[in-house]
Structure 1
Amino acid sequence: MAGLSASVAAAIAFSTLAAPGATAADNPYERGPAPTNSSIEALRGPYSVSSTSVSSLAVTGFGGGTIYYPTTTSDGTFGAVVITPGFTAYESSISWLGERLASQGFVVFTIDTNTTMDQPASRGDQMLAAADYLTQRSTARSRVDATRVALMGHSMGGGGTLEAAKDRPSIKAIIPMTPWNLDKTWSEIRTPALIFGAESDSVAPVASHSEPFYSSIPSTTEKAYLELNGASHFAPNTSNTTIAKYSISWLKRWVDNDTRYSQFLCPGPSTGLFSDVEEYRNTCAF
């Protein structure tokens, strides 16, 4: 640099040092520190969380619920996740996911349905109504990126996520948990889908529900199937590290476009007798 002025030389040196840092901020949706197995298996993530109750009397189209959100306002907005219970069940059956997912950097809405007997198509409509309320009218709306919404559901709620994704392809991700639906073919689905089946499910046996759902989603759609080893239909109703770990990874990857989480999804977990996972399939096209 002998022929350069001191100011030009300093500028070159600075740009050389700064370039790698510039690429680290290319994804505006990335939230939180780099993940590890321990961080996504933990009961709580890096964000402190608050919650607010939503009365059924204050909304239309669904049965109210609870919104969980990171307390910080310094990281901008967060992606949203609406979670719905199954047949005859209430919000309390899936509430464990609220704070757990929110602490990883999402605004999470666990909801009640209009009646506990509502079928999957109705539950799908109610999830979309809840998503619209969360992003447009709720007290937490300023914390949410309305363009990045995901849906989760258990049993008939899981079947409802498929219905909702078919009706609204802009949904960023769905996670049906031991899903139930009389419709077995979902060739319309374009939304990245992670389906949790349970090996010992006698209510929605994987052979007639989760597996055909997964197989019927086009191979051009990002999808994964994770079967819980020895688990029952009601595995999603209590705190479950495997469900949480891979749900967080799926939501981070497809709602936040955060490729740091791809490592947990592809090739995915070990399977077999001594694993919590009986079977795992994934398109792994990312």
Structure 2
Amino acid sequence: MAVGGLVTAQSGSAGAAENPYERGPEPTVSSIEAPRGHYAVSETRVPSLGVTGFGGGTIYYPTSTADGTFGAVAISPGFTATQSSISWLGPRLASQGFVVFTIDTLTTVDQPDSRGEQLLAALDYLTQRSTVRGRVDSSRLGVMGHSMGGGGSLEAAKSRPGLQAAIPLTGWNLDKTWPELRTPTLVVGADGDTVAPVSSHSEPFYESLPGSLDKAYLELNGASHFTPNTSNTTIAKYSVSWLKRFIDNDVRYERFLCPLPRPSTTIEEYRGNCPHTS
């Protein structure tokens, strides 16, 4: 037991020396598919009355401070939905070594441009005013969202190019072209989506991203527009890998993204540029 602990500590220190943003043990397929990762997670509720620019939410974060600060991601729900619809992502991502803010929006019918502004307001609150701001590295931030919140994550990345990662989940937006984006973006669509069909949303989003950008398109097999609203191993696996690779610059996760994943019982299609450059 003691020897094993010593080996783990030494390998972790070596990794930290090479990349100070690496968090957690050596990843495996099992570890990124697991319902919970390496870190115990705590959470704190943020009431809407205590914030401006968004509707409050819940912050999930690694309980331990032994590994220093963490990158962070804000996540928006979709049209007519509240944070409860995307709450499963909070502890799942936080347990892998992120501070995660699942938010409520100002109204449940806010459009993507407003949701993008609210995601950025939530990140600003998280890094500047929240009770866990000392645990967050404000230079390593990302955004995610479902449906209109997914469209909002594209809007947020457009407004703030310094974001490290964006992941729209079955995103919806009337704007189909995003050549301005400079944020590594993983577009997630669903083959059975009738609300935001991939042919008129996720695929055009992805195809319009700059060719030089680190980007990927994951189309879920046997899935619907609302698949991101419940715990999903495929969404979690590739979201964790994308966030680790680009928020933490943790190249240990590159092998789960490149070579490109092949079609399977859960993946209809996966496109992307490999190897990644940032």
Give TM-score, length-normalised by structure 1: 0.91
Q: Is 1:120 aligned with 2:112?
A: yes
What's the counterpart of residue 146 of structure 1? Answer: 138
Aligned partner of residue 178 in structure 2, secondary structure:
coil
Distance 2:202 2:172 in 1: 8
Q: Does residue 47 of the first structure (1) align with residue 39 of the second (2)?
A: yes
Moved over 2 A (4+): 21-24
RMSD: 1.2
Change (3 A) 1:29 1:232: same
Verify the 8 A CA contact 2:15 2:22 in the aligned structure 1. Answer: no
Map of 1:187 onto structure 2:
179
Q: 1:278 aligns with which of 265, 268, 271?
A: 268
Work out whether 1:220 is the aligned partner of 2:220: no
1:11 corresponds in structure 2 to none
The answer to whether residue 111 in structure 2 is matched with residue 111 in structure 1 is no
Kindly state the Cα deviation for residue 25 of structure 1 after the two structures are TM-superposed. 1.8
Once residues 157 and 85 of structure 1 are traced to their aligned partners in structure 2, the CA distance between those partners, rounded to angstroms, is: 5
Cα pair 2:172 2:196 within 8 Å, conserved: yes
How far, CA to CA, are the matches of 1:79 and 1:40 in structure 2? 17
Aligned residues with identical type, % of pairs: 72
Q: Which runs of 5+ in 1 are unaligned?
A: 1-17
Q: How many Å separate the matches in 2 of 1:216 and 1:254?
A: 20
Task: Give distance in 2, aligned partners of 1:104 and 1:94.
Answer: 17
Higher Cα Rg, which structure: 1
**Could you list the runs of 5+ residues in structure 2 that have no partner in the other structure?**
1-9
Shift of 1:24: 6.0
Distance 2:15 2:153 in 1: 35
1:269 deviates by 2.3
Please give the alpha-carbon distance, in whole angstroms, between the structure 1 residues aligned to 2:239 and 2:168: 10
SS at match of 1:25: helix
Change (3 A) 1:106 1:227: same
For residues 10-89 of structure 1, what are the structure 2 equivalents within 5 Å?
25-89=17-81
Q: How does 1:127-138 map to 2 (within 5 A)?
A: 127-138=119-130
In the TM superposition, residue 187 of structure 1 has moved relative to its aligned partner by 0.3
Mapped to 2, the partners of 1:269 and 1:242 lie a distance apart of 11
Q: Note the C-alpha offset of 1:284.
A: 1.1
The two structures have a TM-score, normalised by structure 2, of 0.94
Aligned length: 265
Tell me how far apart the structure 1 counterparts of residues 67 and 102 of structure 2 sit (CA, whole Å).
23
**Alignment partner of 2:124: what SS?**
helix
